[in-house]
Amino acid sequence: MTQANQTAERSSSAGAGTKTVAVVGATGAVGAEMLRCLETSSYPTGSLKAFASERSAGKRFKFRGRDVEMQVLTDDAFAGCDVALFASESDISKQYVPIAVRAGAYAIDNSSAFRMDASVPLVVPEVNGALITPTQKIYANPNCVAAIAVMALWPLHQAGKLKRVIMSTYQSASGAGRPAMDELEESTRAYLKGEAYPPKVLPHPYAFNLFSHNTAIGADGYNGEEQKVVAELRKIMGLPELRVGVTCVRVPVLRAHSMAITAEFADKVSVDQARAVLSKAAGVKIVDDREKNHFPMPIESGGQNDVLVGRIREDISDPTGHSLALFISGDQLLKGAALNAVQIAERLA
């Protein structure tokens, strides 16, 4: 199909002024959230194509009051599409993102396939949205930890020039997809009944337990998740020399990741200044009530578009006074994945 025919198909299928959107991996935890985000988004979706595995093919669901049927992904799936959102594994993205682009679509990929490709922007719109341009066809969605953390770190960097970040993460089951969420629920029920539950999805018992993130440990002693966070924070913020140390831990929470962060700055940033900066930052909500001991919690950040930031205090271990400690929590399936992808699409509309 020629480019002219593809443009004509987009116009006729979506209607004047509207767009045709494809969602790949539409039945997964992230894909399902992409559909929900699209439904309430300002992106002018006139026609939706949803792709999933063969076992889901033919299933129907409602999108903006209309029936949509799940389809199996094929090489001609993206004909007439304006944008393709990928909530797929890396191998699927590597195969089909170039196909989507050749069909004339923008491709926004949630996998790790293109994140460290020098030709592909790794985008959090509130941070580096200027990289979203009509001529750039492929965009990478960051790792969920990096996407959530940078929402707090970037505004603070503007105030004090970030030098070093030390993080410990408390990552929910949603980061490992729907099977891990199911395993947490099922293993918790079994634990409370005193029944054995051999882990099937994750390497260790999940109920009432926590363990190092379930990615392979490298020769440097850091697991794959930690290595991603270091590299991606540097790329998103354009700080290739930023010193980052991170420990990633899986905790028995269904949804939303939390992080304890200590940030060191070249210029001193006071607690009051940090609160003022973060209170004005897009996509951030301050939850910092010392009197009531009320700070960010996954039970409150889950389902929210905003990243919650609190426990803002001076790091008393830094005698120079140039370091702050804080605690944040954000929905891994939203700002850490689906919402961020849809926000990129909105900038392309």
CA dihedral 31, 126, 138, 175 (to 10 degrees): -30
Using DSSP, state whether 11 is helix, strand or coil.
helix
Cα-Cα end-to-end distance for the chain = 23
Residues 92 and 166 in one domain: no
Q: Is the pLDDT of residue 80 over 50?
A: yes
As a whole number of angstroms, the distance between CA 308 and CA 337 comes to: 16
Q: Is residue 266 part of a domain?
A: yes
Q: Is the pLDDT of residue 8 over 70?
A: no
- pLDDT range class, residue 15, cuts 50, 70, 90: low
Tokens of 346: 């909105």
pLDDT value, residue 17: 74
Q: Is residue 120 part of a domain?
A: no
Residues 76 and 170 in one domain: no
Q: Is residue 222 part of a domain?
A: yes
- Cα–Cα–Cα angle for 223, 26, 345, rounded to 5 degrees: 85
Query: Once rounded to an integer, what is the mean pLDDT over residues 260-283?
Result: 97
Residues 107 and 233 in one domain: no
The parent domain of residue 177 ranges over 146-332
Residues 108 and 211 in one domain: no
Residues 176 and 317 in one domain: yes
10 Å CB burial of residue 117 (0-12, 13-18, 19+) is: exposed
Q: How far from chain centre, in Å, is Cα 134?
A: 22
User: Which of 113, 129, 155 is the C-terminal boundary of a domain?
Assistant: 113
Residues 178 and 236 in one domain: yes
DSSP string computed for 32-88: HHHHHHHHHSSS-EEEEEEEE-GGGTT-EEEETTEEEEEEE--TTTTTT-SEEEE-S
Number of domains in the chain: 2
Q: Is residue 68 part of a domain?
A: yes
Query: Once rounded to an integer, what is the mean pLDDT over residues 298-323?
Result: 97
Q: In this structure, what CATH number is given to the domain that contains residue 230?
A: 3.30.360.10
Using DSSP, state whether 236 is helix, strand or coil.
helix
Query: Once rounded to an integer, what is the mean pLDDT over residues 105-128?
Result: 98
Q: Supply the residues annotated as catalytic.
A: 144, 257
Residues 174 and 36 in one domain: no
Q: In this structure, what CATH number is given to the domain that contains residue 22?
A: 3.40.50.720
**Chain segment 62-78, per-residue pLDDT in tens:** 999 999 999 999 999 99
**Chain segment 197-240, per-residue pLDDT in tens:** 999 999 999 999 999 999 999 999 999 999 999 999 999 999 99
Residues 226 and 107 in one domain: no
